[in-house]
Amino acid sequence: MGMDGGPRSAVVAGAGIVGLSAAWFLQERGLEVTVVDRTGVAAGASWGNAGWIAPGLAIPLNEPSVLRYGLRAMLNPAAPLRIPLTADPALWSFLARFALNCRWPSWTRAVQANRPLNDEAIEAYQVLTANGVVAPVADAPITAAFETPRQAAGLLRELRRMADAGQPVEHVALEADALREYVPLASRKLTAGVRIDGQRHLDPGGFVHALAESVRARGATFRTFEVADVDARDGEVVVHGRGGAEAKADVAVMATGAWLSRLAARWGVRVPVRAGRGYSFTVPVDRPVPGPIYLPDARVACTPYRGALRVAGTMEFRGPDDPAAPARVAAIAASARPLLDGVRWDERRDLWVGPRPVTPDGRPLIGAVHDRVYVAGGHGMWGLAQGPATGRLLAERITTGKQPEALREFDPLR
C-alpha cells in the first residue's frame, strides 16, 4: 500500500476486454499492474465475437419470452438456443435461477442496472483510443432485418420497453426499399427493418490485442499460467497458479470470464456464472457491407470484418472448454443463407467458439469481495460493449475505496 493507504500494485487475472480494461484504468490511476492469463490475450470470449459496441441492443436475456422460447428450443437441435439434455446438476440449478428471473420486474431491474455501463460505453472507448490504444472503431448504425413488418414490430416493442425502463434507444423503422440502402446483401425475403443509430463496431481480436499492447507499453508485466486460487494475507494478495507459479500485489481483480465462478465461489460469490457459448465464422461477400446486420429471428449478428463478413450466433450452454460442435456453425449458416444474397456461405473460414459469461439475473458481477480482492465479469453477450466502462468504474472503486453508485446493483455478494 502507498503512504496514503491506497493500493500501489494490482494483479489482474484475465486478459480479455474486461480484465485489460481494468488493468489500463488502474494504470491510469498510478498502479503497477501484472496481468495473468492461462493462455494469453483475447483467448476467451473476446476474439471471435461480433465486435459490436451496441449499448442500444444490450437487452437483458431474461425476458419472459426467452423462457418460452427456451422450452421449445430444447426439442430442436438446430435452434439458436442450445441447452444439452445432460445430467449436470450445476447447469440445471443455473437454469432454474434464470427461469425465476424471467419476469418483467427482474428484467426491468437489469435494464436499469446496466444503464450506467451502456451510457458510458462509447465514451470509455474514446478515452482508450485517444490515449494510446491504436485500433480503429467504426461508427455505423446496426440494421435489424425481418421477413415481415409484424416481426419488426416485436423488436420495436422491445425498444419501447427499454425506453420505459429508462434506457432510450434511438431508432428508425425501415420499409423494404430503405432497408436495402443499409443492407445491400438483403435478399427479397427481407421486407422490413429497424435501424439502431449511434452504435459502433470493431475487430474485437484486433482491439483487445491493441489494448494489451498499450497496457504493456505502460509498464505492465504479462504472465501465462492458470490461476488456481487467490489468497489475501499479511497485507498483500497472492494469486496462485497451478504448478506453483504465483504473483503478488496489493490488490487482485478476478476477471476470468466464464471461468469466474471457480475462483469467486470461495469468496462468498453465490451468483453463478455459466458459459453461454457463441460461434462465429467469416465468409467472403460479393456486395458492400456498410455496417452491421442483425437478423433477430435467426439470432444472427453480421459485421464487416477485414473485407468480408463475420457471422456470429447461438447461445449454447455447455462447458467453457468443451470442443466446438460443427453442427452449430452449420445451423447458423442455414438460418442466415435465405436472408442474405451475395454471401459465399460455403467458403467459411476462421471458425470459432467462445464462452460468454452469463449470470441468471442479467446483471454482471462487479465489485469487492474483500478489501483487497475484486471481481469483474458476467456481462453475457455485452462484455465487449461494457468492458471498458466496467474497468473504468472498478478502477475508481479500487483506488478511492468509495463505491460508485453505478456499481451498487452489481454487488458480487448479492
So what's the pLDDT on residue 46? 84
For residue 176 the three cell numbers come to 423494404
| Integer CA distances (angstroms), 97 to 42, 64, 90, 272, in order | 29, 13, 11, 9
For residue 168 the three cell numbers come to 432510450
So what's the pLDDT on residue 3? 46
So what's the pLDDT on residue 404? 94
In tens digits, the chain (414 residues) has pLDDT values of 554 678 999 999 999 999 999 999 999 999 999 999 999 998 888 888 999 999 999 999 999 887 666 656 555 666 667 777 776 889 989 999 999 999 999 999 999 999 999 999 999 999 999 999 999 999 999 999 999 999 999 999 999 999 999 999 999 999 999 999 999 999 999 999 999 999 999 999 999 999 999 999 999 999 999 999 999 988 899 999 998 999 999 999 999 999 999 999 999 999 999 999 999 999 999 999 999 999 999 999 999 999 999 999 999 998 999 999 999 999 999 999 999 999 999 999 999 999 999 999 999 999 999 999 999 999 999 999 999 999 999 999 999 999 999 999 999 999
Chain centroid to Cα 192, Å, comes to 28
Of 177, 158, 159, 181, nearest in space to 169 by CA: 159
Chain centroid to Cα 288, Å, comes to 27
Please state at what angle helix 383-400 crosses helix 17-28, rounded to 10 degrees: 40
All domains of the chain in start order, with CATH: 9-410 (3.50.50.60)
Q: What is the dihedral of CA 42, 79, 329, 118, to 10 degrees?
A: -30
367 in Cβ contact with 244 (< 8 Å): no
Contacts of the segment 264-268: beta carbons below 8 A, 24+ positions apart: 264/365, 264/369, 264/375, 264/412, 266/229, 267/230, 267/369, 267/370, 267/373, 267/375, 267/412, 268/369, 268/413
